[in-house]
Structure 1
């Protein structure tokens, strides 16, 4: 069954929210203070994007649900994020690999959405593009620094790429959204552009691209790994303990 626009918007919002939370987990744990602040700021950028998308999802759904409902009062099976963003952070190199894979896809996505026939999404995309360009400069800079650094940093960066690569395919979009593309609501697929951009970064980082294509999937349909539910339990605990509370 073809996906509708609400499903697409929730997929993007969930992707961004879950990644925002994972990056927030680095707070006070990053390798240097400046990086601690950088990851926190990127996390906040993503949180802002997710809030706008959830608000729009509520308008599309028409049931009176707000951003807090979508973030805090849905279970793991209701989330539609790609599996890669829910994976544990691992060490810093693993996180930077995930960011590179994600940020290349996110930039191509937002650039394509600037031409969406949906004015709300096009406006969101226009704002998100600049943020995402900064995120990509940050993540690629770190991956090149790690991959082309010491033997240990290179080993960790390659291990991170080998770990995250199998999950990367869902970043390229879902097969059930062709009707949305045909209507101009979302942009065309960007598989080729993403692979070329990621490949160039991997080469510059002196790393080796895994030989097999990404194979892990299911998150876009709500079939998640064992890592999402515990993450949501922590994230949603306060809101669920005091539903409807105001501060």
Structure 2
């Protein structure tokens, strides 16, 4: 991993993913990532495990996208409002693909809408950091930095090691999207951390608020033979690079009990889903 020597840490991170990660581009093109991919479950792959894995990653993306959508009309600048909305759209696209795969392999035949709109909070398996309220811009930037660093590390490994070709294809598509998400968050982390006394104070407060929820990211097994220690090492290495450049430090905090992956959520998930699901539940037979 290269040293951070650029004035903008996100440019240094982008070099690791080539030109595709450095462009102001969302969705990484219009090609169907699943075109020509065999959708049958490979021999030796447990369908239940695969469905659960896709569902959990899809829930992370859906909940994260909904939180980012709440920044519309509220971001500090128009450019950042557009960026956050498009990052949310990337995550929504990932959620749709993952939910569709879950429905293919879990034996229910459910579509993506069934997973997004017609499950109750206790049925979701998203990590708790994704569901916390947005707070100020510094908090949302810090949360995006942690989540995108972690999700990118997981997707990079799934893109090459997942035994299911559909999951590999979904992860491969998501890598360049997540690389940009990480760059955006890293850039703002440096701008705010190394900015004014007030912006630095807010970033320190955001790090303290995020810290108790990070153990869930760094200790939960990513599944399919991916080594959680390997993911943890990469995530912590990137976070320290960014935070050092920003004049910040990674705080230590005791792990909170429970796991979102096990259905233990904060009180913030239910109202978030109520907002997200209200129209679909009011008109369950409607088509859009």
Report the TM-score when normalising by structure 2: 0.80
Q: Distance in 1 between matches of 2:217 and 2:263?
A: 15
Q: Distance in 2 between matches of 1:52 and 1:172?
A: 24
Find 1:151's aligned residue among 197, 207, 222. 197
The answer as to 2:165 corresponding to 1:105 is no
Tell me the equivalent position of 2:100.
55
SS at match of 1:4: helix
Q: When the two structures are aligned, how many residues end up with a matched partner?
A: 239
Structure with bigger RCO (C-alpha 8 Å, 6+ apart): 1
Q: Distance in 2 between matches of 1:212 and 1:240?
A: 39
Give unpaired runs (5+ residues) of structure 2.
Answer: 1-45
Greater radius of gyration (CA)? 2
Tell me the equivalent position of 1:71.
116
| Bigger proportion of residues as helix | 1
Report the TM-score when normalising by structure 1: 0.93
**Deviations 1:27-54, CA, capped at 9 Å, x for gaps:** 0100000111000000001000000000
Tell me the equivalent position of 1:197.
238
Q: Distance in 2 between matches of 1:216 and 1:31?
A: 34
Q: RMSD across aligned C-alpha pairs, in angstroms? A: 1.6
Alignment of 1:1-247 (within 5 A): 4-115=49-160, 116-172=162-218, 174-175=220-221, 180-181=224-225, 187-189=226-228, 190-247=231-288
Q: Distance in 2 between matches of 1:54 and 1:173?
A: 24
List structure 1 segments (4+ residues) > 6 angstroms apart after TM superposition. Answer: none
> Any conservation in 1 of the 2:194–2:246 contact (CA below 8 Å)?
yes
> Any conservation in 1 of the 2:240–2:249 contact (CA below 8 Å)?
no
**Deviations 1:46-89, CA, capped at 9 Å, x for gaps:** 00000000000001112121000000000000000000000000
Q: Distance in 2 between matches of 1:233 and 1:212?
A: 31
Give unpaired runs (5+ residues) of structure 1.
Answer: 182-186
> Any conservation in 2 of the 1:110–1:126 contact (CA below 8 Å)?
yes
